[in-house]
Chains A and B, each alone.
Chain A
Amino acid sequence: MSINATPAGAEVSAGAERPGGRHATVPTQRSGRRKAPLSENKKAERKLGWLLCAPAALVMLAVTAYPIIYSVWLSLQRFDLRFPDQREFIGLENYVTVLTNEFWWTAFGVTMLITVVTVAVELVLGMGLAIIMHRTLIGRGLVRTSALIPYGIVTVVAAFSWRYAWTPGTGYLANLFSDGAPLTERASSLAIIMLAEIWKTTPFMALLLMAGLALVPEDLLKAASTDGATAWQRFTKVMLPVMKPAILVALLFRTLDAFRVFDNIFVLTAGGNETSSVSMLAYNNLIRGLNLGIGSTMSVLIFITVAIIAFVFVKLFGTAAPGSDDGERR
């Protein structure tokens, strides 16, 4: 069976190699288990591939796998640096503590709200911006550069400028819109956090979507207009479906990013008035509270949530993983 499936050339080369030594039999046995046995050439190529990847893979493991495993390990212990003597392995007790805690669920709700609202608004605005950038004929470079400025500013710097703007007395926006201090109330604080997020990352969304727009052939839009489609119908029935893979990738990137929101909240409200995100909460427990056990548990939970979001996007919506050859999938 396995010999039949082998390409003719492979048989010859395998035969030629055989006198070389006993080692030849080992790979033959191993490949016998596969559906299509690999030729010597292919095997050598594959081995070389692994060797070339190895250094990078090792570095990746060292800098990501170790911290991940260590934080999982920490999350299974009672470990508070203020009481180092009480350190002990307690299994999943930390998870029970966190998942039954109302602060966690409030933060989770806040994070979800910020994620959903900002990503939705960014998608709409980003699409508009992308179309503008794509269609501009005059001053294209200028339009694109100016649209991308917010994305070029460091998040913390931008967050501080928003904070000053909304501080009564010194801020131009605070005096304009209200008499009170908007950053001291929950609803207005959340709105300002979301505004800062949207202002900052819409250009990134636009950039990703513009790459998708470039994939829509001009002929397709021309065909649609002669077929009788209005501008809106061309957009919804032709452009959006063709752009779907690009849109999903953009949404995935932004959702994952938005769920880990931290900088803006840290600077604008420091989590006051129940505006903490899950990242904020984990930071407060882990770094400020020195509770390594609970803090690590929260980090692991965030990690799991992000993994679930990615899984849903890739498996259910069929988002092609960036860089894969499967861009054709619709």
Chain B
Amino acid sequence: MADIVLDKVNKKFPDGTVAVQDVDLEIADGEFVILVGPSGCGKSTTLNMIAGLEDISSGELRIGGQRVNDKAPRDRDIAMVFQSYALYPNMTVRENMAFPLRLAKLDKETINQKVDEAAKVLELTPLLDRKPANLSGGQRQRVAMGRAIVRQPKAFLMDEPLSNLDAKLRVQMRTVVSRLQKQLGTTTVYVTHDQTEAMTLGDRVVIMRGGAVQQVGPPQELYDHPRNLFVAGFIGSPSMNFLHAAVQDGGLRTALGDVPLGDRVRRELEAADAPRELILGIRPEHFEDAELVDEESRRRGLEFEAPVEIVESMGSDKYVYFTVEGEKASAAELEELAADAGAADFSGAGSNLVTRLSAESPVAEGQSRRVWFNLEKIHLFDPANGRNLTLHEGRAAGALAD
């Protein structure tokens, strides 16, 4: 077991494209860190550089305090799990799991004992004599995990290990991975493009975009205090609503009405180079049916009325989609997020607003409804660079903060 340190690590391909730039990351011993981001953000390249499958162009990589830039993968003592599982098709499950041990020249007895142990943990014992071709996707995935854990390596590297499983199994395997990592206490770096996986699995999440780290932190912190527009839009499902907001007379004019500003945000906006147009971000759960809001909360928020488009009842609460008039929020980050979601070329008329209201709300499709939203939970972003203006010393304080 060991810590992993990335010190200004860069990856530049021979054709000049920069896949990873200046990544600084300290992964503590035993920590479970998730690298997440849309495809092409450099997360897999980063993982491959840690594994030694990809050369590091500049910067330093240390595993257990030792510089390993120039070490071959086999000398780094790390185990990797691949999205395709990469099981050796000509070997049985037992041989697959024993392969790294055999290469390490352990004696037969020890190998058998270790394989049996790992097989027991992953419930693979009855499958030991089968070939990978005769296993289901979930079983193959477990064999791949087994091959990684038998060696007790310094670190596990996992490259989207659950992405080839169907949705139900993926949720189940998520807990298996989580439990296994806690049991073994081995430093783990896990790459995924699925923000739900990132939120649920990791001790800390690293969000990457275009080869650069956007924000590093525990999942809840990323959710509550996103540093920029990209992080805010990437984390959370359904994702944060973004609305166009114009700065006017010390307040904001938005499709949801005029939003008052607290002193701190106003001071920021008074600077000469301050943007005149902002993007207002608010998460679905910070809306509520106006009828159900008590007097105390009402004062901390604003109300607006809008036509209900779709109601999705989830049982515990309701997802209600409203159409609101007005300009759409636009920024490079938002376009990129839409492209990643596959919706770049699809946009309805006007802005769409996703809200999560209480199950008791009698809201119905086709009618208009009064909705309240919490001003303290609002984020304001600068469309030019995506910076979160409401963030103060790492905490988001809403629009009203003094």
Residues of chain A having any CB pair with chain B under 8 Å? 217, 219-220, 222-230, 233, 237-238, 241-242, 244, 328, 330
> Whole-angstrom distance from the CB of A136 to the nearest CB of chain B?
14
Given A220-B86, A237-B88, A328-B133, 6 more pairs with CB closer than 8 A: A217-B84, A224-B99, A226-B73, A227-B79, A227-B100, A330-B89
> Whole-angstrom distance from the CB of B5 to the nearest CB of chain A?
19
> Whole-angstrom distance from the CB of A318 to the nearest CB of chain B?
13
- 8 tightest CB-CB pairs across the interface, nearest first? A241-B90, A223-B86, A227-B100, A219-B86, A228-B103, A228-B74, A226-B80, A225-B73
CB-contacts of B67-90 with A (<8 A): 72-74, 76, 78-80, 82-84, 86, 88-90
- Smallest Cβ-Cβ distance to B90: which chain A residue: A241
Counting residue pairs across A and B whose Cβ atoms lie within 8 Å, the total is 67
A–B pairs, 5, beta carbons within 8 Å:
A217-B86, A225-B72, A225-B74, A227-B79, A241-B90
Q: A222-B53, A228-B104 given as contacts; is B88 within 8 A of A241 (CB)?
A: yes
**How would you classify the secondary structure of chain A's contact residues: helix, strand, loop or mixed?**
helix
Q: Which residues of B contact A229 (CB under 8 A)?
A: 74, 103
Q: Is the CB of B88 within 8 A of A228?
A: no
Q: Which residues of B contact A237 (CB under 8 A)?
A: 88, 99
Task: Pick from A226, A228, A230, A242: contact of B89, CB below 8 A.
Answer: A242
Q: Is the CB of A226 within 8 A of B74?
A: yes
Q: Which residues of A contact B84 (CB under 8 A)?
A: 217, 219
Give Cα A220 to B104, complex, Å: 18
Q: Is the CB of B80 within 8 A of A220?
A: no
Q: Which residues of B contact A233 (CB under 8 A)?
A: 103
The contact size tier of chain B is 20 to 34
Q: Is the CB of A223 within 8 A of B82?
A: yes
B43 lies within 8 A of chain A by Cβ: no
B209 lies within 8 A of chain A by Cβ: no
Give Cα A288 to B79, complex, Å: 69
Q: Is the CB of B103 within 8 A of A222?
A: no
B318 lies within 8 A of chain A by Cβ: no
Q: Is the CB of B74 within 8 A of A230?
A: yes
Task: Pick from B48, B82, B91, B100: contact of A228, CB below 8 A.
Answer: B100
Give Cα A97 to B88, complex, Å: 53
> Whole-angstrom distance from the CB of B12 to the nearest CB of chain A?
16
Q: Is the CB of A226 within 8 A of B51?
A: yes
Give Cα A230 to B79, complex, Å: 15
